Amino acid sequence: MPNPVSSDVHVNALLTNISVALIQRETAFISGQVFPVVPVAKQSDYYMQYTQEDWLRIKAQKRAPATESAGGGFGITADNTYFADVWAFHQDVDDPTRANADNPLNMDRDATEYVTRQMLLAKEHDWMSAFLGNAIWGTSKTPDPLWDDAAEASVPIADVETGARTIEAATGYRPNVLVLSPDVYSVLKNHKSIIDRIKYTQRGVVTPELLAALFDVDRVLVARAVYDATAEGATSVPQFMATKRALLVYAEPAPGIMKPSAGYSFAWSGLYGAQAYGARIKRFRIEAIAADRIEGEMAFDHVLVSKVLGYYFHACIA
């Protein structure tokens, strides 16, 4: 075995820039759009959470002359933790393939995009598992009647408003984000009650922005990520990651101290060479196989912070 040869082990700026650009452009992936992304210096740590009840109780009292004022305080728990697991994937670009590639192929660029897409798929799937499921949020329910009810008796706007009032009554915060699976979005954009409300508008076409106005939220996000759950070599069966569901949450627009949010996405930006998303792309030489390895890493943790700030609709349509 020859002595080790010089290898490119530094974080490659060009490849990382390509990766970051992909993360920013891939609007089908919502894991970085719903909740604030909090860059963290350490892989694991504690975050503080204030006792909600202390902020809702009325403790101020009338004060008689020459008497002390009513006083009190609020509780803080500091035992809440996150842990940013490192996810990784690589593709090897061998010398013969690179040498034989015709324009406009760029093997390094293509490998970087492929590696980045693999990490995005993993991150999106992990987000779905963390936040889109029964018994996760304060309320989980199936609309009755379903939103695609053939008799057109369903009332999705009223159902979402009930969810919004439930969250606001329990917390004092009005939810501001509605996440829809693509099939639910398709049903809503063609729902009679919604068409009737917008048919006289200038555009007359239902969009996520228009639905946001109708549902009285800041944003409507459609979870369009597609993946294939079959084993390699089996017949491909692409499918949406999310189907028949909707999630209404309050997501803090600007994370900070004493700012509640239904969830946070912690990104380990302290990982050597990582960007704010907690991701990095490396290229290094492996002489033993005469190839350059394009390797991606992404370190994150999707954390449910307050379940009462979310309202989950499952099996929304038949």
pLDDT in tens, 50-89: 666 766 677 778 888 888 887 877 776 767 888 999 999 9
Residue 63, domain member (yes or no) = no
Q: Record the pTM.
A: 0.84
Residue type, 79: D
Question: CA 130 → CA 114, 143, 262, distances in Å?
Answer: 25, 22, 12
Backbone φ and ψ for 92, nearest 5 degrees, come out as -95, 130
Neighbours of 137 (CB within 10 A): 26
Answer yes or no: are the C-beta atoms of 112 and 15 closer than 8 Å: yes
- Give the range among 4-13, 96-105, 138-147, 239-248 with minimum mean pLDDT: 4-13
Please work out, in degrees rounded to the nearest 5, the angle formed at the alpha carbon of residue 43 by the alpha carbons of 39 and 47.
65
Residue 7, domain member (yes or no) = no
Cα–Cα distance between 142 and 289 in angstroms, integer?
A: 54
Q: What is the average per-residue pLDDT within 91-115?
A: 85
Cα–Cα distance between 60 and 37 in angstroms, integer?
A: 36
Residue 165, domain member (yes or no) = yes
Domain of 291? Answer: 35-43+80-314
Residue 114, domain member (yes or no) = yes
Residue 222, domain member (yes or no) = yes
Domain count, the chain: 1
Which CATH number covers residue 166?
A: 3.90.1690.10
Backbone φ and ψ for 100, nearest 5 degrees, come out as -95, -5
Element (H, E) at 159: helix 156-171
Of 253, 305, 307, 301, nearest to 40 by C-alpha is: 301
**Structure tokens given for 307:** 């379940």
Q: What is the average per-residue pLDDT within 218-232?
A: 93
Residue 69, domain member (yes or no) = no
Residue 139, domain member (yes or no) = yes
pLDDT value of position 68: 84
pLDDT value of position 58: 77
Q: Give yes or no for residue 181 having a pLDDT over 70.
A: yes
Of 211 and 67, more confident: 211
Question: CA 230 → CA 80, 237, 239, distances in Å?
Answer: 36, 7, 10
Element (H, E) at 248: strand 245-249
Cα–Cα distance between 183 and 190 in angstroms, integer?
A: 11
SS3 108: helix
**Structure tokens given for 225:** 């990520």
Residue 150, domain member (yes or no) = yes
